[in-house]
Amino acid sequence: MPGYLFKRLLQMVPVALVIIVMNFFLLKMAPGDMADVIAGEAGAATPEFMAALRQQFGIDQSLPVQFGHYLQKIAVLDLGWSFRANESVLNLILGRLPATALLVVSALAVALVVGTALGAFAALARRRWVDPVVSLLSAIGFATPLFWVGLMLIVLFSVKLGWLPSSGMYDMAASHEGWAHALDVLRHLVLPGLCLSLYYLAVYARLMRASVREVDRLDFVRTATAKGLSRFQVVRRHIVPNAMLSIVTMTGLQFGALLSGSVTIETVFAWPGLGQLALYAVTSRDVNLLLGILLFSSFFVMVVNLLTDLLYSVLDPRIGAAP
C-alpha cells in the first residue's frame, strides 16, 4: 500500500506542472487585462494612469518574466495577491470555501441517499410503472438547465408562496446568533441545495438502477436466494453493497466537479462561494485570483481522485495489488 501511494503521488507531479503551465498561458491569451476593466468601470482613464496600474499589477512585464515570477511563488506555495480585491488569493479562497463546501456536501449527501434509494427501488420494484417513471424523472432532472430550475424554485417558493428566502446565505438585516443563525442558514440553504442536488440525484438514480439490475443477475445473488434468505435480506446484504462500488467512483468524480455545478447555482441564489469568486475573477480579469482558484481546484480534484482510488483498493483488494 505505501508503495502504491508513493507511486500515485509521484504521478501527480507532471500533471500538476502541465496544469500550471496551461492555466497560466491560456489565461494570458484572453484579450484585455485588469487595467482595462478598471478603466471601463470608471468610464475614463488616462494612458499614464493605465500604465501606472499595469506597473502596480506587474502586468507590464514580458510574459516569460511574469511566468518566472509566478513559478517562483508557486514553488513556495504562495498563490499571490489579488490586486482587484486588495487581499491575498489564499485568504479569498479560504474565505469562500466554507460556503461552497456546505452547499456541495449537503447537495451531494441528499443526492446520494435519495438517488441510490430511488435507483434501487426502480430496479427492483415489482410494479411495472415504477421503473419508467423514475427513469423519466431522472432524465428530466439530468437534462434541465440548473439556472432555470433555480429561477423556477425562486418564483414558486419565494415569490408566490413566500416560504423561503430567494438569495444569500443568511439574513443580513436580522443578524441572528447561535442556533437562530444555524436555522437561518438552513432556510437559505434549502433552495440552492435542492436545486443542485436534483442534477446529482438524477445521475445517481440512473447509475444505481443500472448497477442493481446487473448485480441482481449474478450467481451469488441466486445462491443467496437459493439458501433461503428473504428478498429484503438479499437486497440489503448482497445486492446494494455490491452495486455501491460504481457509486463510489461516481461520487469521487462528482466531488471533483464540485465547482462547475455550483457556479450557476451560486450565481442564481447569490450564494457567496468559490464559484461566484471564479466568475468574478474572470469578468474582472483578475488573473492572479483565477490562477489561484484553478490551481486550488485542480489540486483538489487530484487529491479526491487519489482518495477515491485508495478507497477503491480498500473495498476491492485486487486493485491496489495490481502492478
Partner 1 sequence: MTSRRQFLEVTGAGIGATLLSMAGWAAETTPVQGGTLVANVLPEPAGLVAGINISQPAVVISASIFDGLVRYDKDFKPQPQLAESWTESKDGKTVTFRLRRGVKWHDGQPFTSADVQYSLLEVVKKIHPRGSSTFGKVVAVDTPDDYTVVLRLDGPSVVIWAALFGTETQIVPKHLYAGTNVMANPWNAKPVGTGAFVFKEWVRGSHVILERNPNYWDAGKPHLDKIVFKFIPDAGARAAALENGELHYAVTNPVPESDVDRLRKNPQLVVDTKGWEAPAPMFFVDFNMERPQFKDVRVRRAFAHALDRKALADNIWYGLATPAQGPVPSYQKQFFKPGLPQYEYDPARAEKLLDEAGVKRGADGVRLRINHLVSPYGPVYQRAGEYFRQQLGKVGVEITLVNYDLPTWIRKMYTDYDFDTAAGWYSAYPDPQIGVERRYWSKNIRKGSVSSNACRYASPEMDRIIEAIHDEVNPAKRKALIGDMQTLAQVDVPSINLLELNFYAVYSKRLQGLREGPLRFYSTLADAWLTPANAA
Smallest distance from the beta carbon of 277 to partner 1, in angstroms? 6
Rounded to a whole number of angstroms, the minimum distance from the CB of residue 84 to partner 1 is: 5
Q: Output phi, psi for 87, to 5 deg.
A: -160, 155
CB closer to partner 1, 154 vs 215: 154
**For residues 51 and 125, which CB has a smaller minimum distance to partner 1 in the complex?**
51
CB 90 within 8 A of CB 182: no
Closest approach, Cβ 23 to partner 1, in A, equals: 18
| CA 95 to mean position of chain CA atoms | 16
At 273, give phi and psi (nearest 5°): -110, -170
Q: Answer whether 112's CB lies under 8 Å from 202's CB.
A: no
Find the distance separating the first CA and the last CA of the chain, reported in whole Å: 11
Q: Is the Cβ of residue 80 or residue 115 nearer to partner 1 in the bound state?
A: 80
Q: Which amino acid is at 239?
A: I
In the complex with partner 1, the residue whose CB is nearer, 254 or 288, is 288
3-state secondary structure of 87: strand
The minimum distance between CB 102 and partner 1, in angstroms, equals 14
Q: Count CB neighbours of 247 within 10 A.
A: 20
Backbone φ and ψ for 286, nearest 5 degrees, come out as -85, 85
Which residues of the chain form contacts with partner 1 (CB under 8 A)? 30-33, 36-47, 49-50, 53, 56, 83-87, 92, 95-96, 99, 147, 150-151, 154-155, 158-159, 162, 165-169, 172-173, 267-270, 272-273, 276-277, 279-280, 283-285
Closer residue to partner 1 (CB): 9 or 180: 180
Closest separation in Å from C-beta 34 to partner 1: 8
